[in-house]
Chain A
Amino acid sequence: MPILILAFKSMWNRRVTAMLTVMMIAFSVTLLLGVERIRQGARTSFANTISGTDLIVGARSGPIQLLLYSVFRIGNATNNISWKSYQQFAQHKRVKWTIPISLGDSHRGFRVMGTNTDYFKHYRFRKDQILTFQEGKAFASVYDAVIGAEVAASLGYRLNQKIVITHGISQAALLTHEDKPFQVVGILQKTGTPVDRTIHVSLEGIEAIHIDWQSGAPPLPGEEISAAKAQKLDLQPKEITAFLMGLKSKISTFQLQRQINDYRKEPLLAILPGATLHQLWSMIGVVEQALFVISVFVVLTGLIGMLTSILNSLNERRREMAILRSVGARPWHIFGLMFSEAGMLSFFGVVGGVILLYLGIWIGQPIIESQFGLFIAIEMLKPYDFAILVAIVVMGFFMGGFPAWRAYRNSLADGMTIRL
């Protein structure tokens, strides 16, 4: 009987402990590979958020803050920029297109963004992909709204749904623009970017709902302007939050960036989305590294757990070793028995870990996507993953060398004597 089969049968005899050990290794392997997957998914979806935009311009603050609120809809702008400044650069001879952005309101936790129809024409994500409509079309009149796929899915909205915009971005805000409800006229296709979680309205719409407001407070009784009336007024915005910019030639990017940053009439900040994304990612990268290190330690813990359980079993298995010795097994067979047990445990652990990983991705994929906007693809293991898995099995084998050596020494010393 080959020693491997013997080792397997012996292990099967202790299957509860063996399975727990395998599970311990499997979970640690799943964690390690899972972290790797999430890291890759996060990195791709991160880099895919915005594409084709050469500069993002906002009021002067930190570049990361500007990127966060203008692209990721995280946090707030400290200040707005004037329509005049916007126009100044929108009409610059080197500028091909601009997309104005006006933020500050929300609807049931989703950010509302005022923009114009250039947004649907010029906004690009994931390697030059354009926004497309699942249903409906772009907004045309003041009280039209276009919602992202996730907004539609999680709130169950269809076309023609009436929505009331809340003033401010807190979900518990009490101030609403209930006098001027919007109507959903379009639902965008899923993009896997923050666009999915955004409600898009026209700049005029944002202007209209705030037209009767005074310095951030709702109109006093008697001073309200009705929705229909507001529509007829001049809805040209005086301020916007930020704007995205595409240039005719990328060569002029740095030149224009300097011009905007040095603009005398208003303190502005222009950033290159790619560079700032990179900067942001390198901050997150520390967490990413930490996660990786933690999961490496979890794998080590799993392997040490295996070592412990094998070492623990050595004493109870002295009888087994002695019997094997008495029927002719040589000390090296005993060594092989223990060695292959460790190898098998770590091998099964790794296989189990991979199965758990795919099961986890399969189950978790929709949840992660809807909760965190991260798309984790079900794809083959990469050479890097294989390298990690092989390393774990090899490490398991080597850790098995220790109890195997102990068993070898024991069996030399004990011979066939059964000691209890």
Chain B
Amino acid sequence: MNKERLVCSFSYQARMDAINTPIIQLNNIRFSWPKSEIPILDIESFVVQKQEKVFIQGASGSGKTTLLGILGGVLLAQSGEAIILETNLNKLSGKQRDNFRVNHIGFIFQMFNLLPYLSVLENVLLPCHFSESRRKQVLQRGNTLAEGASRILKDLGLEDPDLLSRSVNELSIGQQQRVAAARALIGNPDILIADEPTSALDADTRESFLQLLFKECQAFQTTLVFVSHDASLAKLFDRVVKIANQNLQESK
């Protein structure tokens, strides 16, 4: 618990002192799956600055998901270091990494992001049950957790108050992805990691979804790492990085 607090205050300090220090820093990362000799990722250096919107493009099987696993501290590379918010993930225990992840990183996946047996509200508030710091963040802004949740949902274009108590199964896929985004953003995490969140959406909703996501990241000062195979979205981002030959290459 002490260490946990240390991590929090540390990252807070980091945010205050050095706006320009990198928020994500990968150094000489080599990762291979247990039974294979060949590394799936071999990254010399990858840096993301605060509030950047980074698009990582890669074909399936290129190691995109592995990269996100490393960024989220779910996977540990065999060599090299992953420093997120000035915290070296390699030096944390499994439990500390879990705590660190839920406190600082929100996730959105391809589709079926939501637990079908919980209401919209319950789904959005899930991170608050596992992270004290995100819970406090919500309560600082609004009066209650539910208010905080409905505010973000409203910002993401889900205004209908009845929606909160509705089953997530009644929502369209576009709505479901926006609920997932609300869940990822609630409690103000520093980083939002999105893994192909638009692949199940049609072209029209895809772009409007992204615009909403950008707007929220702006408002919350959240750094966005967005992974997709779909190059057509790349133009909307500040920066585009390609995964090729186990490495990351900046593309202009």
Contacts and interface: CB of A to CB of B under 8 A. Distances in A.
A260 to B, nearest CB: 77
B247 to A, nearest CB: 21
A328 interface: yes
B26 interface: no
Contacts of A417: 65, 69, 74
Nearest to A415: B74
Is the contact region of chain B dominated by helix, strand, or loop, or is it mixed?
Answer: helix
A418 interface: yes
A330 B102 CA distance: 10
A328 B65 contact: no
A13 B102 contact: no
A297 interface: no
A416 interface: yes
B96 to A, nearest CB: 11
A326 B195 CA distance: 12
B146 interface: no
B115 interface: yes
Contacts of A331: 94, 98
B95 A323 contact: no
B130 A9 contact: no
B72 A416 contact: yes
Contacts of A9: 117-118
B213 interface: no
Interface string A8-38: 0110110000000000000000000000000
Interface residues of B, number: 31
Interface string B2-26: 0000000000000000000000000
A117 B125 CA distance: 84
A172 interface: no
Given A323-B113, A327-B183, A415 B75 contact: yes
A301 to B, nearest CB: 29
A326 B107 contact: yes
Nearest to A416: B74
Interface string A328-356: 11110100000000000000000000000
Interface string B83-127: 000000000001100110111000101101111111000100111
B107 A416 contact: yes
Given A13-B117, A416-B72, A1 B107 contact: no
A239 interface: no
A320 interface: yes
A415 B129 CA distance: 19
B131 interface: yes
Interface string A278-319: 000000000000000000000000000000000000000001
B221 to A, nearest CB: 21
Q: How large is the interface on A (under 10, 10 to 19, 20 to 34, 35 or more residues)?
A: 20 to 34
Contacts of A326: 107, 109
Nearest to A9: B117
Contact of B102 (A319, A328, A415): A328
B62 to A, nearest CB: 15
Given A415-B74, A416-B107, A417-B69, A327 B116 contact: no
Contact of A328 (B68, B69, B110, B127): B127
Given A319-B112, A418-B109, A327 B127 contact: yes
Nearest to A414: B74
Interface string A380-420: 00000000000000000000000000000000000111100
A418 B110 CA distance: 9
Nearest to A412: B94
A417 B74 CA distance: 9
B63 to A, nearest CB: 12
Interface in B109-165: 109-110, 112-118, 122, 125-127, 129-131
A327 B127 CA distance: 5
Best-buried of A9, A10, A328, A330 by chain B (most CB within 10 Å): A328
Given A12-B117, A319-B112, A416-B74, A330 B126 contact: no
Nearest to B110: A418
B102 A1 contact: no
B109 A10 contact: no
Contacts of A328: 98-99, 101-103, 126-127, 129-131
Contacts of A323: 109, 113-115
A13 B116 contact: yes
B98 A330 contact: yes
A10 B117 contact: yes
Contact of B69 (A1, A320, A416): A416
Nearest to B111: A418
Contacts of B109: 323, 326, 416, 418
A131 to B, nearest CB: 64
B244 to A, nearest CB: 21
Contacts of A319: 112
B126 to A, nearest CB: 4
Most chain A Cβ neighbours within 10 Å, of B101, B127, B131, B183: B101
12 contacts: A1-B126, A12-B117, A324-B115, A325-B74, A326-B109, A327-B126, A328-B103, A328-B127, A328-B129, A415-B69, A416-B107, A417-B69
Return the 4 tightest CB-CB contacts between A and B, nearest first.
A328-B102, A328-B130, A415-B74, A13-B117
Given A12-B117, A324-B126, A327-B102, 12 more contacts: A13-B117, A328-B98, A328-B102, A328-B126, A330-B95, A415-B69, A415-B74, A416-B68, A416-B72, A416-B109, A417-B74, A418-B112
